[in-house]
Amino acid sequence: MKTTTPCVLMRAGTSRGPFFLKEWLPEAIEDRDHVLISAIGAGHATQINGLGGGTTLTSKVAIVSKSDRDDCDVDYLFAQVGVAEAVVDTRPNCGNMLAGVGPFAIEQGLVSPVEGETLVRVFNVNTNARIDVIVKTNNGKVIYDGDVAIDGVPGTGAPVYLSFLDAWGAVTGKVFPTGNRVDVIDGIEVTCIDAAMPMVMMRAEAMGLKGTETSADLDAHPGLIDRLNDIRLKAGQLMGLGDVTDSVIPKPVLLGKHDDELAIHSRYFTPKKCHTSHAVTGAIGLASAFVLPGTVANKSDIPPGDHVVNICHPSGKIQIALKVKLNEGEIALERASVVRTVRKIMQGDLVIPPKVN
């Protein structure tokens, strides 16, 4: 195995992690995972021996390669690396890390930049979904500086636009994999949905909460994490995902009421801690449930047309632009887009320690 490999560290949306070209990594999955685990420093709560920051939000990896598909430019494989556990999970997607795929692909020569804005057509290998990523470019270079602010990230940057084209039912094959828009698990009404991210959503009030609590308060709430995990495990079986004990999907989500008809409070779990802001893919899925009648998230009739839904989280909000249509007389979602920012932090060579048998 190589002792070094190129690596680019990026903050993408509200996540952070190393980006690799697929060719930079070993082909064998076991060897590849060794590199990813050592890169992040997984296996210790502080991740003191790697690039991670001791949280799931900073224990993420993006692997990018030229796509063989006619309708996409690049393939993107997301890997969620453990924090205290030395594990790698490639079943979920991450919309925040996705925001960095476009800039990374352009800078690595996989996509030629266009003056003004460059479209990067991304195929997410984890979920078989296509996403259009629009990146600001000028004089053949990616523009990172700008005046767009996103909640959960200090400062401003250039906007990166993500349009999810076919993320509905990408993991399980169905938007509502249980066949129902509401199921009851442990006496709690839940909506199990697979839209950009498999999730099990429930009203916070059903758990004796408001859905406006801080992430720290929810993490410390007696018995809450265990109760949510019990529901998550049962939801995984109902959704056809099998035993999800060692997986991060489906994600549990607590929903709170909001006075605005086009807003909802959300507390998104990763799954054993409450996200300090919100996953982009989770916001896409929640916005989908918000406009679809019969779910625990839906609270009003959303007419066909263009709408902006505010997903309110502990650090602020994520705005999701939706295009809603009528499909055979029923409300359906045609497209969901979100705005993120990206910062390239460093690029260089990652030193890979030897494997210990």
Q: Does residue 292 or residue 191 have the better pLDDT? A: 191
> What is the Cα–Cα distance from 330 to 316, expressed in whole angstroms?
32
Q: Are 314 and 304 in contact (CB under 8 A)?
A: no
Angle subtended at Cα 283 by Cα 278 and Cα 287, rounded to the nearest 5 degrees: 150
pLDDT surpasses 60 at 206: yes
Q: Is the dihedral of CA 264, 272, 227, 179 positive or negative?
A: positive
- Token pair belonging to 65: 């390669």
Note the pLDDT tens digit of each residue in 40-69: 999 999 999 999 999 999 999 999 999 999
Q: Mean pLDDT for the chain?
A: 92
CB atoms within 10 A of CB 260: 9
Domains of the chain by start residue, with CATH: 4-113+342-351 (3.10.310.10), 183-340 (3.10.310.10)
- Token pair belonging to 116: 């003004």
> What is the Cα–Cα distance from 175 to 288, expressed in whole angstroms?
9
Q: What does the pLDDT read at residue 356?
A: 59
Angle subtended at Cα 37 by Cα 35 and Cα 38, rounded to the nearest 5 degrees: 65
Least confident of 47-61, 93-107, 298-312: 298-312
Nearest to 76 by CA among 24, 22, 117: 22
Q: Give the helix/strand (H/E) hosting 185.
A: strand 183-185
> What is the Cα–Cα distance from 315 to 8, expressed in whole angstroms?
27
In percent, how much of the chain has pLDDT > 90? 74
Q: What does the pLDDT read at residue 320?
A: 87
pLDDT surpasses 80 at 2: no
Query: Can you give the length of the chain in residues?
Result: 357
Note the pLDDT tens digit of each residue in 122-151: 999 998 889 999 999 999 999 999 998 888
DSSP class of residue 11 equals E
Q: Are 339 and 161 in contact (CB under 8 A)?
A: yes
Of 222-226, 280-284, 306-310, highest mean pLDDT: 222-226
> What is the Cα–Cα distance from 135 to 119, expressed in whole angstroms?
7
pLDDT surpasses 80 at 335: no
User: Percentages helix, strand, coil for the chain, rounded to the nearest 5?
Assistant: 20, 40, 45
The number of angstroms, rounded, from the C-alpha of 310 to the middle of its chain's C-alpha atoms is 17
pLDDT surpasses 70 at 255: yes
Nearest to 66 by CA among 13, 34, 112, 116: 112
